[in-house]
Amino acid sequence: MKSVVEALKDNFNKNLNIRTSPGSLDHITVTTGDGKFALNQIGQISLKSPQLILVNMSSFPECTAAAIKAIRESGMNLNPEVDGTVIRVPIPKVTREHREMMVKLAKQNTNKAKDALRKVRTNAINKLKKSKDTVAEDTIKLIEKQIGQMADDTVAEMDKHLALKTKELLG
CATH number of 114's domain: 1.10.132.20
On whether both 104 and 80 belong to a single domain, the answer is: no
Number of structural domains (the chain) is 2
Residue 101: pLDDT band (50, 70, 90) is confident
Whether residue 24 is contained in a domain is answered as yes
Give the separation between CA 101 and CA 1, rounded to whole angstroms.
27
Give the tens place of pLDDT for each residue, 3-43.
998 988 888 777 677 666 667 777 788 888 888 988 888 98
On whether both 165 and 106 belong to a single domain, the answer is: yes
- Answer with the one of 39, 59, 90 that is the final residue of a domain: 90
Whether residue 45 is contained in a domain is answered as yes
* Residue 49, φ and ψ in degrees, nearest 5: -155, 170
- Answer with the one of 90, 115, 139 that is the final residue of a domain: 90
For residue 139, give its domain range. 96-170
On whether both 50 and 110 belong to a single domain, the answer is: no
On whether both 83 and 106 belong to a single domain, the answer is: no
- Answer with the one of 44, 72, 90 that is the final residue of a domain: 90
Whether residue 116 is contained in a domain is answered as yes
Tell me, what's the pLDDT at 22?
Answer: 65
* Residue 122, φ and ψ in degrees, nearest 5: -60, -45
On whether both 76 and 138 belong to a single domain, the answer is: no
Residues whose CB falls within 8 Å of the CB of residue 45, separated by 6 or more in sequence, listed in order: 22, 23, 25, 26, 39, 53, 54, 55, 56
On whether both 86 and 100 belong to a single domain, the answer is: no
Give the tens place of pLDDT for each residue, 154-166.
999 999 999 998 9
Give the tens place of pLDDT for each residue, 120-134.
999 998 988 888 788
Considering the entire predicted model, what is its pTM? 0.64
On whether both 86 and 25 belong to a single domain, the answer is: yes
On whether both 72 and 118 belong to a single domain, the answer is: no
